[in-house]
Amino acid sequence: MTDAPVAAPLKTPLHGRHVALGAKMVSFGGWEMPLQYSGITEEHLAVRRAAGLFDVSHMGEIEVAGADALAAVQRISTNDAARLEVGQAQYSALATPEGTFVDDLLVYRLGDEHFLLVVNAATIAKDFAWIRDGIQGVGDAVAVNTSSRYALIAVQGPRALEIVQSLTEVDLASIGYYRFATGEVANVRSTISRTGYTGEDGFEIFVAPQVAERLWGALLSVGAPAGLRPAGLGARDTLRLEAAMRLSGQDIDETTSVLEAGLGWIVGWEKPEFVGRAALVRQRAAGVTRQLVGFEMVERGIARHGYPVYVGEDRVGVVTSGTRTPFLEKAIGLTYLPRAASAPGAECAIEIRGRRVRARVVPLPFYKRPRG
């Protein structure tokens, strides 16, 4: 086998808008995406205090349809899709037979026999192949990679609802958390989902690529007076980390199990069969040996992805995510610790450029939004 040629970076339908706004563009999962516009700190705070506008069109969409679509989704997704009503979504995992992560995803029930799976950008091809192979033999169900049919725009923050509401007749307050509705936003046919990756209330809006710019522009003009700011991948990462939302490929991957990641709640234990079930049932009975934990630095220093982690003299792993977050103004991170050393208050040390710096396990999430 020879190395594949390096492909040109993919661009979302909003690429021109980002460049026009002066965004600093970076390569992410094969896509050229905005890292930041005005600055990560300012964008992060805008989302916590007012609202942020994100282009997440790089995310992948895979649709599963057919008379046996539910059975197909049930086989490849750990969560119990039978509990979804039409118009409802759930967080889930694509698991390996060992109970580790191929990827994490959102499962939307579009119809009784029609599901939309939203997967991570860098793993669209891998996930699609995995799903297509995984549902073979289930019966009447077909998986189609429909990623190019969708642009995805997220509006996140305490003022997200009023901003989007000013552009739609759909009663947004009636859409519950992890529910979605269809309708027009700024005269653009949309699927409006009350979901997000920031720890704030907000919406993710699926539209056709050719009308994405119109929606983006309309949201920016009506939102700006309310404090809406375009926000890039940098702020998206610091926001999701404060909310302790896992990042696939970093906090969770094929070496970490769904239970170790603290995500037993996305396992449909009552389901008789799904990929990874046997391993997860065994692991639940035996107990996990290590656990994803949140920590904050006790001494000065910033832990970052890949830095070694010590408990006593033992090197126990690496930091899976770490930064100094703009809202909490603390250096925080995620890592896997041996079960015995993983309780809140326990100490560990992060090796920062050759020096061991003290850290302490804290409860997750780091940030929880105040609810009115």
Partner 1 sequence: MYPSDRQYTTEHEWISVSGTTARVGITDYAQQQLGDVVFVELPDVGQTFDQGAQFGSIESVKAVSDLYCPMAGAVVEVNTTLVDRPETVNADPHGVWIIAIELTSPDQTAGLIDAAAYAELVS
From residue 225 to residue 264, what is the string marking binding to partner 1 with x (rule CB under 8 A)?
A: ---------x---x--------------------------
Query: Computed from CA positions of residues 166, 170, 173, 179, in that sequence, does the dihedral angle turn out positive or negative?
Result: negative
From residue 101 to residue 140, what is the string marking binding to partner 1 with x (rule CB under 8 A)?
A: ----------------------------------------
Is there binding between residue 40 and partner 1 (CB under 8 A)?
yes
Residue from 12, 31, 36, 195 binding partner 1 (CB under 8 A): 36
**Residues present in the chain in total:** 372
Is there binding between residue 39 and partner 1 (CB under 8 A)?
yes
Residue from 226, 302, 328, 346 binding partner 1 (CB under 8 A): 302
The one-character DSSP state at 227 is T
Tokens of 46: 């805008």
Residue from 90, 283, 291, 323 binding partner 1 (CB under 8 A): 323
Distance CA 280, CA 207 (A): 37
CA-based nearest residue to 38, from 52, 56, 57: 52
Judged by CB under 8 A, which stretch of 110-118, 143-151, 288-296, 301-309 contacts partner 1? 301-309
Describe the crossing of helices 40-49 and 233-242 by its angle, rounded to 10 degrees: 50
Is there binding between residue 30 and partner 1 (CB under 8 A)?
no
The residues that bridge with 118 in the sheet, in sequence order, are 61, 106
Element (H, E) at 285: helix 277-286
Q: Which is nearer to partner 1, 38 or 165 (CB)?
A: 38
Judged by CB under 8 A, which stretch of 88-96, 251-259, 281-289, 319-327 contacts partner 1? 319-327
CA-based nearest residue to 301, from 327, 315, 319, 317: 319
| Number of residues binding to partner 1, judged by CB under 8 A | 20
User: How many angstroms from the chain centroid is the CA of residue 201?
Assistant: 14
Sheet architecture: strand order including 51-55: 180-185, 188-193, 202-207, 151-156, 51-55, 228-230
Is there binding between residue 25 and partner 1 (CB under 8 A)?
no
Is there binding between residue 354 and partner 1 (CB under 8 A)?
no
Is there binding between residue 49 and partner 1 (CB under 8 A)?
no
Contact 10, 102 (CB under 8 A): no
- Taking the complex as a whole, the smallest distance from the CB of residue 284 to partner 1 amounts, in Å, to 37
Applying CB under 8 A, which residues contact partner 1?
24, 35-36, 39-42, 44, 234, 238, 300-302, 304, 323-326, 331, 353
